[in-house]
Structure 1
Amino acid sequence: MTFHDQSPARDLNQPVSTYVLRDIGGFRVLVHREVLMHPAEAKEALRELNAQVRQIIRAVPPQPLQALRRVRIWLEWENNPRGAAEYHPSAEWLREHGYNPEKAGSVEINNARNFVRWSRGEQPWMLLHELAHAYHHQVLGYENRMVLIAYRHAMRRGLYDQVEYVRGGKQKAYASTNVQEYFAELSEAYFGKNDFYPFTREELAKHDPVGYRMMERAWNG
């Protein structure tokens, strides 16, 4: 989840040479040197990233996990003051908005401090959410009929119009934004815990059985 509100003065098109490559659980993580200039925050961001990678490795079946490991992760200091993480499907979009087009097909943690804060608050499976976008795009395809059918069924029935939020109260679920967010949000519930109801796999099976069956097929073949 992210909001594009970066400062126009900030150079977002940084060459790969300004990053340090780390291997975290078989995932390639490119850490911008600006992050490393803040040792305490860098330590916490890498610790949180490592924890989320470990829970993904435990939860995701071997074949889709192999696909997820092909997705590079870029760790930035503060490319977006109001963001935390995002998936970049389009090199053209990246060029138009001043980013390095080499980030296409990758996950960008665009604000190291927000990533830690939000992950340790309401979104403990944030990295999986963004990697699920990559899986949807690169493995299943955005026009995947099974995913579209489940999404349209859920929207017609209003399953995500007013649901519980982890902090309390009810609101429109982020899953209702579009088919991409539907897939990513359901993936969080299926493998871990989401911040909107259904929070867990068991609740997903009860609340949105069509979506649950889609998850079963999408992630298990």
Structure 2
Amino acid sequence: MKKTNAARIILLTGLITGLAIAAAAGRQEQKPEEKHKPISPDRIYTFPTLNVVVEDFSARGLILDIGGGGEGVIGQLKHQQVVAIDLIKRELEDAPSKPLLRIVMDARDLKFLDDDFSTATVFFTFMYIAAADHEQVFRELFRVLAPGGRLLIWDVIFPKRVDEKKDVAMFPLKIKLPEKEINTGYGVKWPENEQGMDHYITLAKKAGFEVITQKEHEGWFFLELMKLKD
């Protein structure tokens, strides 16, 4: 389970027994009095399980994985090709995968040189980043990708809230990799506005990316973007 300062969820025998949300730079913000405060189950809306199939993909050189802590799904898939960054040190320490490098870093201010990577991935991490910061993250990813480089994104689709009392979204996931299956759950403060694939496509194009592949599934989506060669 992705345990972040944006959302901490405890799952026990399939039941949500508690959730606390804490603010962190680059993550969804909240009021100071809410930090580390247990969330009432009445505020949590649990979505149907998302069945996420992650197929192996070709990649030249190193892969920059944004939010690569927690389960470290991309690290489990691509191993020593991966440079995993995360804002939370413990997330990187707890990841079961063994990427080439694990670095504490803010996706809004990547410390890499221009054109450093041929592939970047963002696996269910944008959901933890405040929507107001998404545009900056796209700009940074565009900068560090080499011309012809690809950006692969998997993330949830946030529908409009129908019950204002349910302001915490919980997404159980069944992640299918080529050689294993991961069962987990991600929880986060529910954004006030709808946030789906079109939101990310708009920002990606604004940053300079071209959309190569777009697939919308039940509750989640996949995008393949490219930084075109000059």
Q: Which structure has more helix as a fraction of its residues?
A: 1
Instruction: Calculate the TM-score normalised by the size of structure 1.
Output: 0.27
Instruction: Calculate the TM-score normalised by the size of structure 2.
Output: 0.27
Structure number with higher relative contact order (C-alpha < 8 Å, ≥ 6 residues apart)? 2
Q: Which structure has more strand as a fraction of its residues?
A: 2
